[in-house]
Amino acid sequence: MAPITLNNGQPKEDTTPNYDVCENYDGKYRFAPIEESQVARAMIKRYFNTMYERAVSDVVIIGAGSAGLSCAWQLANMHPELKITIIEASVAPGGGAWLGGQLMSPMVVRKPADGFLRQLGVEYEDEGAFVVVKHAALFTSTLLSKVLAKPNVVMMNATAVEDLIIHEDFRGEQRVAGVVTNWTLVALNHDTQSCMDPNTITAPVIISATGHDGPMGAFSAKRLVSAGLKKELGNMRGLDMSRAEPAIVNSTREVVPGLIFAGMELSEHDGSNRMGPTFGAMIASGTKAAHVASGIFASSKIVRGRVVG
């Protein structure tokens, strides 16, 4: 057994059995002793410490689909000092990127977005103008694991954004200044139970990548209309891959102060086309959103999570 070091610096022999040895699986496998309360406290302490620490974040990304995760990866690499908090309504992050199209597994990525796959180390087949990853879950699981391994990134899944925090900024303009959150199971059942008030996260930059219209889709875009910050939505138009993908990437921007749109939520906001089962625009839009966010930090004075100049 290898020696281990205690908190007081004194070495102690590690008597933990080696469960990598196959013989331990022959009716001899034993777990280290533990109490149920230890499991509960291990989760509770870390989860609520994270909630406390991220009540003021630098960036909140709404939606952990292909665009949101690509944005988080790029931004975390560019700015390891920023506190990046991802809010995902589903239990399983990844959005529609677990499959290609119509329950088929291969993922198509048009060039030049294949460069992102090489950054991640995801293998693909080259088909000339596009590449194909053998299973979309390979891309999604690789990206997700690399994002969550970043020390400045945390994700709260099974958590819904119920509203946007909108303040008057130092110029007297309306600015998105954070998000209002609740556990998704609560958010989906407000009509079946007594009121349960939400929580809040303050951040100078919100990046919304909630996808096209659906149960949780295009949330921020629709909220801009109901909040009076936008007259109406453009509404996503029919499928046209050649027009849709560059429109999404080139239109990725700060749509109102403090709020950046990425991915298919832009198609609902702008009234651009959908592109169907090709993911290059999601990757490139998320990457561009990270650069837009970086520009906001470079040009703003921020105090306690609020832009003051």
pLDDT digits (tens, 9 = 90+) for 125-165: 999 999 999 999 999 999 999 999 999 999 999 999 999 99
Half-sphere exposure for 125 (CA within 13 Å, toward CB)? 9
Q: Which helix (H) or strand (E) element contains residue 53?
A: helix 36-53
Task: Give the pLDDT confidence of 75-95 residue by residue, as tens digits.
Answer: 999 999 999 999 999 999 999
Task: Give the pLDDT confidence of 268-298 residue by residue, as tens digits.
Answer: 999 999 999 999 999 999 999 999 999 999 9
282 three-class SS: helix
Closest to 207 in 3D by CA, of 279, 291, 141, 144: 291
As annotated, the binding site includes: 67, 88-89, 96, 161, 197, 212, 264, 274-276
Evaluate if residue 1 carries a pLDDT over 50.
no
The residue written with tokens 């199971």 in the block is 185
Among the residues of 58-151, which ranges form H helices? 66-78, 114-120, 136-148
As annotated, the binding site for substrate includes: 67, 88-89, 96, 161, 197, 212, 264, 274-276
Longest Cα separation, the chain = 71
Residues whose CB falls within 8 Å of the CB of residue 48, separated by 6 or more in sequence, listed in order: none
pLDDT at 193: 82
Q: Could you tell me the pLDDT band of residue 30, with boundaries at 50, 70 and 90?
A: confident
283 three-class SS: helix
Between 132 and 194, residue with greater pLDDT: 132
pLDDT at 13: 61
Evaluate if residue 21 carries a pLDDT over 90.
no
Q: Report yes or no: 84 and 61 within 8 Å, Cβ to Cβ.
A: yes
Evaluate if residue 12 carries a pLDDT over 70.
no
